[in-house]
């Protein structure tokens, strides 16, 4: 496939109150194409004034036109937004590829899935009602109201910007909130372009706003803003801690979806063809840059050698190439800092004594000498306490760890600070349920890996986060409950009068 010369976005602006606006900040950050390494534009490194402009627009919309839209009206707009995304799915997919280097065939599938989240929460929007509460006093009528919290700050990552933003935006809008999105400074373009879908769907100005910039600038300013009533963050543990502390200082709740060191466990009775495919999909899809990446393969001793041999053969066949090539199976790392981190962990693994089976270095790609490519990498004989088995790499590096029995497998799987996801491969139904119950993970897949749906809750145990996204109950995070007491037979008696 012949690829064109690098495209160029120019100097991009924030999207506030229904239009692209000139920023207050004069600072800018480069937009780099991970496939070529070329600088292809710039984004605003927004400061507190730029963030305030976006939050004020969202607050105005929340108190104004958006407040007059009925729940059924919100549902209709969410369905219209899903239609608009479908109409521009190819353009959004292309922007994501250029943002983070994910392969085009995966991004086409992902962008066609995004509308499902908006349609799911469209179905929730007109079902958010309060309750009547019977009290002991017969003259008091008591009931509850469900009201939107207000402006929501959404801080999104670079690995799947629009997909993971939908997990926040869709329930927030269904609840009646307005949003200000701060995408990762490493992948902001697709979120800025996403404004077109809101315009096409007919949302009032200010319901959806985008401010770009770094976490220490725009991210912290958004978390600190007094009009932001809730913060929803997806990203690194360090970033999540900073956001949560900033929000907590003013008593604003923060939902955190953080990292993982997920175990993909292959028992001796596993269907090996499917299990090896699950290992490959779990770590080499998206070049390992997913929070649920199955970066630890725990393999029973009885099938350890066979699984390693199959992995070595299959990994050698993975086609690393330009992400716009339909034949490419694994594209580049998303950005320079992440490429450096991946190289560092490959070196750490070898220094700790892990056995390199495949990869371990930057990949050579035709026409992509300056791109951020890294070979799919497998380390064998990894000990559970090695850094490569404890720390999140967020790159295409698989650590293969042997185990002897079910108890040891569970102990190794649970033996990290993380608890986001896990995979279990076995043909024994009782083992599948027993192990799933014992794993400290927010999601457990059995004989499958890396699946999701809008109706299934997602989140982690331990250092993998706070709260759950997706599912009907996720909308609760964006609602306040108000208790209303009505005395139907008010008394005019003196409250301080005491009768004998």
For the question of whether the overall pTM of this predicted structure is more than 0.75, the answer is yes
Angle of helix 429-438 relative to helix 406-414, nearest 10 degrees? 30
Which of 3.50.30.10, 3.40.47.10, 3.40.605.10, 1.10.3470.10 would CATH assign to domain 10-258+464-483? 3.40.605.10
Per the annotation, the verdict on 154 as an active-site residue is no
Q: Which residue blocks in 194-303 are alpha helix, DSSP H? A: 195-201, 220-224, 237-248, 272-284
**Extents of the domains making up the chain:** 10-258+464-483, 263-446
263-446: what CATH class? alpha beta
pLDDT tens digits for 233-258? Answer: 999 999 999 999 999 999 999 999 99
Q: Distance (Å, rounded) from C-alpha 118 to C-alpha 454?
A: 9
Distance, CA of 475 to CA of 365 (rounded, Å) = 44
Residues 6+ apart with CB under 8 A from 79: 118, 119, 122
Exposure string over 22-55, b if 16+ CB within 10 A, otherwise e = ebebeebbebbbbbbbbebbbbbbbbbebbbbbb
291 is catalytic: yes
Q: Give Cα separations from 487 to 139, 143, 146, 295, 490 (angstroms).
A: 6, 12, 21, 60, 6
Distance in angstroms (rounded) separating the CA atoms of residues 360 and 379: 9
Are 417 and 313 in contact by the 8 Å Cβ rule? The answer is: no
Task: Spell out the alpha helix ranges (H) of 391-450.
Answer: 406-414, 429-438
Distance from CA of residue 134 to its chain's centroid? 41
pLDDT value, residue 244: 97
Q: Which of 125, 204, 202, 130 is CA-nearest to residue 170?
A: 125
pLDDT at 367: 67
Pairing of strands 10-11, 39-44: parallel
Q: Enumerate the H helices of 127-188 as residue ranges.
A: 161-175
Name the active-site residue from 257, 329, 392, 469. Answer: 257
Q: Are residues 89 and 100 in contact, defined by beta-carbon separation less than 8 angstroms?
A: no
* Parts of the chain with a pLDDT under 50: 1-5
Marked catalytic residue, from 32, 59, 291, 469: 291
Nearest to 210 by CA among 159, 137, 156: 156
CB 398 within 8 A of CB 378: yes
What is the distance between the alpha carbons of residues 410 and 320, in angstroms, rounded to a whole number?
33
* Residue 496: per-residue pLDDT: 81
CB neighbours of residue 98 within 10 Å: 27
Residue 54 contacts by C-beta under 8 Å, 6 or more apart in sequence? 14, 16, 17, 180, 209, 210, 211
* 32 bridge partner residues: 39
263's enclosing H/E stretch is: strand 263-266
> 158 near 335, Cβ under 8 Å?
yes
Closest CA to 215 of 28, 15, 45, 101: 45
């Amino acid at each position: 496939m012949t690829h064109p010369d690098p495209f160029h976005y120019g100097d991009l602006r924030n999207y506030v109150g229904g239009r692209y606006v000139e920023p207050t900040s004069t600072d800018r950050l480069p937009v780099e194409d991970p496939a070529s390494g070329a600088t292809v534009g710039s984004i605003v490194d927004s400061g507190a004034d730029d963030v305030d402009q976006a939050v004020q627009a969202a607050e105005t919309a929340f108190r104004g036109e958006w407040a007059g839209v009925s729940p059924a009206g919100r549902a209709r707009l969410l369905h219209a937004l899903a239609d608009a995304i479908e109409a521009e799915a190819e353009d959004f997919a292309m922007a994501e590829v250029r943002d983070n280097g994910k392969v085009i065939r995966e991004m086409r599938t992902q962008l066609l899935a995004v509308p499902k989240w908006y349609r799911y929460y469209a179905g929730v929007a007109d079902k958010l009602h309060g309750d009547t509460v019977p009290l002991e006093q017969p003259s008091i009528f008591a009931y509850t109201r469900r009201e939107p919290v207000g402006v929501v700050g959404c801080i999104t990552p670079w690995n799947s910007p629009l997909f993971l933003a939908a997990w926040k935006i869709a329930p927030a809008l269904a609840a009646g909130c307005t949003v200000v999105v701060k995408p990762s400074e490493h992948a902001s373009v697709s979120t800025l372009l996403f404004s077109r879908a809101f315009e096409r769907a007919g949302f009032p100005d200010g319901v959806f706003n985008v401010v770009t910039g770094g976490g220490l600038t725009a991210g912290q300013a958004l978390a600190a803003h007094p009009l932001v009533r809730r913060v929803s963050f997806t990203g690194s543990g360090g970033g999540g801690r900073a956001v949560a502390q900033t929000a907590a200082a003013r008593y604003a709740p923060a939902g955190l979806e953080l990292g993982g060191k997920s175990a993909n466990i292959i028992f001796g009775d596993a269907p090996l063809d499917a299990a090896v495919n699950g290992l490959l999909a779990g770590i080499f899809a998206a070049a390992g840059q997913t929070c649920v990446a199955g970066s630890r393969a725990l393999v029973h001793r009885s099938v350890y050698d066979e699984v390693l041999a199959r992995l070595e053969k299959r990994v050698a066949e993975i086609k690393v190439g330009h992400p716009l090539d339909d034949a490419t199976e694994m594209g580049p790392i998303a950005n320079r800092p992440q490429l450096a981190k991946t190289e560092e962990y490959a070196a750490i693994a070898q220094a700790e004594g892990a056995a390199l089976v495949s990869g371990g270095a930057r990949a050579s790609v035709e026409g992509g000498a300056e791109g951020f490519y890294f070979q799919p990498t497998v380390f064998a004989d990894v000990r559970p306490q090695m850094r490569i088995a404890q720390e999140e790499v967020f790159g295409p590096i698989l650590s293969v760890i042997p185990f002897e029995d079910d108890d040891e497998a569970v102990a190794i799987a649970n033996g990290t600070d993380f608890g986001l996801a896990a995979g279990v491969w076995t043909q024994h139904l009782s083992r599948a349920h027993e192990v799933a119950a014992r794993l400290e993970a927010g999601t457990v897949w059995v004989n499958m890996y890396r699946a999701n749906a809008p109706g299934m809750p997602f989140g982690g145990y331990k250092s993998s986060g706070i709260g759950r996204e997706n599912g009907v109950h996720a909308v609760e995070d964006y609602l306040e409950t108000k208790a209303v007491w009505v005395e139907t037979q008010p008394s005019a008696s003196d409250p301080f009068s005491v009768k004998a």
